[in-house]
Amino acid sequence: MTVDGAARLDSAAGCERVFRRNGLPTLVQGRTLRRDVFGRAAPFLLLVLVAQLSGAVNLSWSPATNVLAVLGAVAVIIGGYIGLNRLRGRAWSTLPQEIATPELAFFVLVPALLPLLFGGQWAAAVVTAVTNLVVLALTWFTVQYGLASTVWWGMARAVDELGASLLRLVRLLPPLLIFSLVLFYNAEVWQVFDRVPTVSSVVLGVLFAVLILVLVGLRLPSEARAALAEAGAEVPGAQTLAPLGRGQRVNVMIMIGASQLLQVVVVCAGVFALFVGIGVLTVTPAVQEVWAVGGGWSVPLTLQGADLVLNQSLLRVSTAIATFTGLSFAISIQTDAMYRAEFTTGIERQLRTVVAARVRYRELLG
């Protein structure tokens, strides 16, 4: 381990930062749901709560009435929180140090009362409550398993990952790139995605996203076991560490899966940008007129006197081709031996750092 790496492990807090930075917060001892999961997410939940003050707005009312309604909603939120503090035996102005069941119930139910109190909008109240439940579930998953840390540190290397992923794509799927170009200049493809309903596009996108998740997740258990075993074998003292618990093993799998998904997303983004650029330069308004496409919004452009256009049809076709490419890439990374070796080496290097931090963490905590 480097001198800098050793310096980071001179305290338990330093080891815990290593765990969190590598997207493995479940390795922190004494971690609680109330303090370390929902407590850390409190600023985000507060922003969501403030945004939901708009639930008091009614478009059929005048602007002045809506302003009064929002002020009334603020009063309801503040009054409800004061009441919660008094029920829990705290001073009325006490800020929550931990987010427990009463605070979570407050987050779900009180904003749902706003559309009900200001306009009798029952449907909006139910939608708000369900939305807040979904927000809490996603917040728990993201913070509990360090997904934000994994994505954040992955995006810090986005430029490098873009180049590496596109190089792997060229090596893995050269026929696909040629096929994608041929598909892109097919009038029928443009006509299909120009006229397909928006809801159908959304359903299709969700379907492909689920397929990608399934493909990436198929090998995660075996990959996590192999990577942990390899990393543990190379770190002195790791053989005597306690085995990871079920939640910690799930955390490792999510970290590895998120790293793979980030590469798929990078490839999709690169292919999308490529075809948008090609489309703007070559699929001109005249070509789109011949193909009988170009519905929806459009932004006219000019380059050296030539008429170009960026419009809804181009973005739809580029998104579709990028999604197909991402799915094909996700399939190929599960079968290409060279890619698997490169990816596994990087994960094992990352896990060696984590295992070394676990060894030092045990020493510091006794």
Domain membership flag for residue 316? yes
Same domain, 79 and 180: no
Same domain, 176 and 70: no
Tell me the chain's radius of gyration from C-alpha atoms: 26
Same domain, 92 and 184: no
Same domain, 120 and 170: no
Same domain, 122 and 209: no
Instruction: Please tell me whether the overall predicted TM-score, pTM, comes out greater than 0.85 for this model.
Output: no
Domain membership flag for residue 297? yes
Domain membership flag for residue 357? no
Same domain, 152 and 117: no
Q: Which one of 144, 159, 192 terminates a domain? A: 144
Same domain, 308 and 163: yes
Same domain, 106 and 181: no
Same domain, 170 and 277: yes
Same domain, 117 and 183: no
Domain limits for position 137: 25-144
Domain membership flag for residue 128? yes
Per-residue pLDDT of the chain (366 residues; tens, 9 = 90+): 443 344 467 788 889 888 988 888 889 888 888 888 888 888 888 888 888 887 777 777 788 888 888 888 888 888 888 888 888 888 877 777 778 888 898 889 888 888 887 777 788 889 989 999 999 999 998 888 887 777 666 565 545 555 555 565 566 656 667 778 888 998 999 998 888 888 888 898 889 889 988 888 888 888 889 888 888 888 888 888 888 888 899 999 988 888 888 878 878 888 899 899 999 999 999 999 999 888 788 888 888 888 899 999 999 999 999 988 888 888 877 777 777 777 777 788 888 989 999 999 988 887
Domain membership flag for residue 10? no
- Total structural domains in the chain? 2
